[in-house]
Structure 1
Amino acid sequence: MAGRHLAAAEEVTAVLDALEAHRVDACVGGGWAVDALLGEQTREHSDLDLWAPAGHLEWLLRALASRGVDRIFPWPGDRPWNFVLHDGARLRVDLHLYERLPDGRLHYGSAVDGTTFPAGALDGQGVIGGQPVRCEVPEWAVRWHTGYPPRAADRHDVPLLCARFGIELPDGF
């Protein structure tokens, strides 16, 4: 996998179409969620972050394989609920698998030190390449871009979201 790996809007929408065809309840996260919420692509993306129910994993993998995204891309910190797949060329998909709890909240991570968050955190609406998509809501997109030392992409994304949606800029930005 030499060279830069950048996800294009057309690739993202093709993956989302494949997921929908396989009835996978996917939600766009990360940088693409930011751009979806803003309604335009504001930077290049090295991957596509996707939230999906762990129970949909079989169909999610089938859908991604139908698009050639069928190889594990080992990444520091990989876990059974968070790992990266790629197509051997350009497209990387960073999967974030969760389980719905009886009270409706979503659980992400291990049983010992996982985190829970409201299901509504994944009820955002945005647009990628002219196609409506489900994505993280603005407040949670900001929250998930914080809590660690900000990267260049975070320093780009967070102020744009805060300015557009009237969210207070977090410390460190």
Structure 2
Amino acid sequence: MTGRYVMAAGEVVRLLDAIDAYQVEVSLSGGWAVDALLGEQTREHSDLDLWAPAGHLEWLFRALAGCGVDRVFPWPGDRPWNFVLHDGDRLRVDLHLFERLPDGRLHYGSAVDGVTVPAEALGGCGEIAGRTVRCEAPEWAVRWHTGYPPRAADRHDVPLLCSRFEIPLPPEFS
């Protein structure tokens, strides 16, 4: 694997183990969620995307800081509910913070223009390097890879998910 920011499966497992030690229930998003759902690594990943409860941010920070991932990586479009932490070298964690509503649904984003999704959106289960992980449900992983011009990684990930889970291929991927 090449490139400055390449995260290996073993590093993902190490980070998830540290987060679990603080009893923060995260769900994988992005490319690692896709590969977890597929049960194998299908491409290189530059970061680890995680959904996490906003109320557990302190404990998530503690877990990641214990692994050296303790610096904010400024990124266009950063918001208080979505930002990247890094270790100063090659590990990056892209956090997506949500709040659980009284009815169980999840709210992501601002109070003005956020989105609300069912809790089942983060109800997927997969595997990375032999470790069972929580992740986005397949149909939601596909949905969140649409609505913008597909990148090369999206063109790789979405057809694999659609094929494996018998999800109709979105028009922009035809």
Normalising by structure 2, report the TM-score: 0.97
Counterpart of 2:96 in structure 1 is 96
Q: Secondary structure at the match of 1:63?
A: helix
Counterpart of 2:110 in structure 1 is 110
Distance 1:4 1:95 in 2: 20
Counterpart of 1:34 in structure 2 is 34
| 1:84 correspondence with 2:84 | yes
> Match for 1:40: what amino acid?
E
| 1:74 correspondence with 2:74 | yes
Would you identify which runs of 4 or more consecutive aligned residues in structure 1 move more than 2 Å? none
1:141-152 equivalence runs, <5 A: 141-152=141-152
Paired residues in the alignment total: 171
> Match for 1:159: what amino acid?
P
Q: Secondary structure at the match of 1:95?
A: strand
| 1:156 correspondence with 2:153 | no
Identity of aligned residues (%): 78
| 1:5 correspondence with 2:11 | no
Superposed CA deviations along residues 14-71 of structure 1, whole A, max 9, x for unmatched, are: 0000000011111111100000000000000011000000000000000000000001
> Match for 2:118: what amino acid?
P
Shift of 1:142: 0.2
1:27-66 equivalence runs, <5 A: 27-66=27-66
Q: Secondary structure at the match of 1:96?
A: strand
Counterpart of 1:132 in structure 2 is 132
Distance 2:99 2:76 in 1: 23
Shift of 1:91: 0.8
Superposed CA deviations along residues 135-155 of structure 1, whole A, max 9, x for unmatched, are: 001000000111110000000
Superposed CA deviations along residues 104-145 of structure 1, whole A, max 9, x for unmatched, are: 100000000000000011110100011110000100000011
Structure 2 unaligned regions, length at least 5: none
Distance 1:27 1:105 in 2: 15
Distance 1:144 1:90 in 2: 25
Distance 2:6 2:86 in 1: 11
Q: Secondary structure at the match of 2:171?
A: coil
Normalising by structure 1, report the TM-score: 0.98
Q: Secondary structure at the match of 2:37?
A: helix
Structure 1 unaligned regions, length at least 5: none
Q: Secondary structure at the match of 1:94?
A: strand
Distance 1:68 1:27 in 2: 20
Distance 2:54 2:103 in 1: 17
Shift of 1:89: 1.1
